[in-house]
Chain A
Amino acid sequence: MNAGHLFYGSSVFLMVMGVFIALTGKHLIKILLGIDLFDVGLNLLIISFGYVNGGTAPIFSRYPHVFKNVVDPVPQALVLTAIVIGVAEIAMGLAIVMRIKEKFGTCNISKLKELKW
């Protein structure tokens, strides 16, 4: 069991759980949380991709003394974007769910059956 199993494994596990919850959840908020979990797992996964053995954070606080061994900064920058996007998505989703609760009077996904014909 090395660190790779831990980092990759836990983030993939989060993604799997997210999909599982989104597939089986009945409550809309639960489903949204499943999607969020999926996003979180993905973000963790991306961060773990950036790791370089023995690397440190890419912040050169003792400039001009520069470390040669740093982790990949790009996935971190990307994840920053991805997190914000995830937040925006969930916020939008929550707004929709709140309105659904108001209109349908329920958050049970199997009661949402307006669009069929």
Chain B
Amino acid sequence: MTMFYILLVFILTGLLTLFLGPIKVLRNIVALLGYLAGSALFIYNIKPGLIYSLNIRVYNIHFESGFSTVFFGIIILAVFLIFLLASFHEENDGAYYLFAFLTLTGAIGVLFAKDLISFFFLFETMSLFSFLMVLKGKNKNSPKSAFKYLVWSVFGGYAFLFGTFLKVYTTHSVMIGDISFIGGHIKLLILLLILTPFMVKAALMPFHLWAPDAYSDSKDAFTVFFSGGLSKIGIFGYFIALFKIFTEIASKYPWFLTVIAWLGGITATLAGIYAFMQDDAKKLLAYSSISQLGYVAVGFGIYTHYSVVAAFFHALGHAVYESLLFLVVAGVYYRVKTTDLRKMGGLIKKMPLSFIGLLFGIIATSGIPPTIGFPSKWLLYEAVIMKGDLLLTSLVFFASITAFLYSYKLVHSIFLGKLHKEHRDVKEAPLGYATGIILLLIPLFVLGVAPGIAVKHIDYIIRFYLKPELGYNLTTMTTPLGHVNFPVVGIVMVSMFVLSLIIYFIFGSTYKADQTDNYTATEAISDDFELHYAGEFYGFMRKAFGRPLKWSFEKLLNAFLKLFAFIGEIARGFYMGDARVYLFYLVLFFSLLAYLMGGKL
């Protein structure tokens, strides 16, 4: 029953904020209180193993909570808190919170669902209201991006529904349960169909087309939740599909897993390349988010105990640092009103906290200890190497390189280099953003040093399905390849950093200049001249990769769309005659049927 109440609390909070109308402060407070009430209910009452069902005449809604529910629920709720903190400073209205809370309802509800129809209901709720959220977005392109997002997510949802019905038809059960025993290859079709919406949500290529636009064109605060929170539903779905629905996938269709792993690898790499070619901070982050989610798919594709642990942990890490990065960019946008990397620079002194947040965010993204990005990457590399697929291994490693590249571009373009004139009076991001940054920095380090806290929980989720191979305690992990102690690695890393800093201070020659100084050698240039290196950042890379990437999946899709449009035109032609033609259809219809009946008359 609690599960139902939690959802109810969120829905009611949304409705209440809608009716509070024009009073912003009240709205914010109610939203926060409602959120706190709901999350308190969740954290104190939701234990694995709860069951609840509700009968509405023809359908029964079945809820169940498991370890995965708690794991993903806490991630999503935490990210939602960050979103709330940021949205206090956003332009918001009643509908904004209504949509946000209904999205949250859907996202949390999906975790509870035990039967596929409820799952679909809540999944669609989530898609629908996040679509409305994007539609309300911040710029002219938002409606278009929202449209793309809607079509893609409904495509996924319908595939899921088709899969559901195939499953119900073949197994006579609507519950989320095993389909491995079904004869024939229909089970693979069911799996594929059920997996589709999650691949869409987790933006696995080639289902990622909506993601960059939708991420970058939604409101900044919402992007935090969108990328950090909602994509986790995709990961949750991988877990549901590959472990709960098709338990024997590894023995029956190993190649299917390989395909997923490869898709993940390709996603990680290609999205990384796309990322460093972007000139818009949010687009860059969107691609970075997609790229990171690719790693998760790799983890699931390899399908060993520690690879899946890595995938889950990476999802957790993704939630932390991706939210952090988007939050920082949202704060910067709040102050400088742009996300165009070419129009920023040198904000380090104006917004030091944001800088620190972004810095550690990108450090985590690149997987450097002692942050949360390191344990998962480490495990994942080991898993890839153990699998012995050299090509995939090199792909994944290459993807990490792109992560360095775009991370650096981000931090350089926003915070380093020359300060723009119009940004002289910029202040630090306001309280909500700052609180969010600090709140996110805590797990970023804590889980980086002591990943055991989370790994223990992840292990509970999957140990039922996979043979435990990973040894761990609070701060260490043991794999077939070796043993790692995270605090030690972290200390080594930090001391290396300190060492190099000392060397730099002793031996480096520095010249102190104002942030707006035009530091040219001999030529005299006026102060207005922009010398910040941001416009053609990685221009050589663009030259190298740009042309092959021109051919895109999007074009193929457009061709398909044109085909349907053509068929539609033909169908429409039927309705373009005059009255006599319509009468002719009638007579023709009569004659045809009479002819078909033939001798029976």
Interface residues of A (CB under 8 A from B): 19, 22-25, 31, 109-110, 112-113, 116
Contacts and interface: CB of A to CB of B under 8 A. Distances in A.
B-side interface size class: under 10
Nearest to B590: A19
B578 to A, nearest CB: 5
Contacts of A19: 583, 587
B576 A116 contact: yes
A22 B580 contact: yes
A31 B587 contact: no
Interface of B: 576, 578-580, 583-584, 587
A24 B578 CA distance: 12
A23 B583 contact: yes
Contacts of A116: 576
Nearest to B579: A109
Contacts of B580: 22-25, 31, 109
A25 B587 CA distance: 15
A25 B578 CA distance: 12
A112 B583 contact: no
A115 B576 CA distance: 8
B576 A23 contact: no
Nearest to A34: B583
Contacts of A24: 580
Q: 6 tightest CB-CB pairs across the interface, nearest first?
A: A116-B576, A109-B578, A23-B580, A22-B583, A112-B578, A23-B584
A106 B131 CA distance: 50
B541 to A, nearest CB: 48
Contact of A113 (B578, B583, B584, B587): B578
Given A23-B584, A109-B578, 17 more contacts: A19-B583, A19-B587, A22-B580, A22-B583, A23-B580, A23-B587, A24-B580, A25-B580, A31-B579, A31-B580, A109-B579, A109-B580, A110-B578, A112-B578, A112-B579, A113-B578, A116-B576
Nearest to A112: B578
A116 B583 CA distance: 17
Contacts of B587: 19, 23
Contacts of A25: 580
Contacts of B578: 109-110, 112-113
20 contacts: A19-B583, A19-B587, A22-B580, A22-B583, A23-B580, A23-B583, A23-B584, A23-B587, A24-B580, A25-B580, A31-B579, A31-B580, A109-B578, A109-B579, A109-B580, A110-B578, A112-B578, A112-B579, A113-B578, A116-B576
B582 to A, nearest CB: 11
A115 B579 CA distance: 11
Most buried by A among B579, B580, B583, B584: B580
A109 B580 CA distance: 8
Nearest to A35: B583
A46 to B, nearest CB: 19
A25 B581 CA distance: 11
Contacts of A31: 579-580
Contacts of A112: 578-579
A109 B583 CA distance: 13
A49 B25 CA distance: 81
Nearest to B576: A116
Nearest to B575: A116
A25 B584 CA distance: 12
Nearest to A111: B578
A31 to B, nearest CB: 7
B196 to A, nearest CB: 35
B492 to A, nearest CB: 71
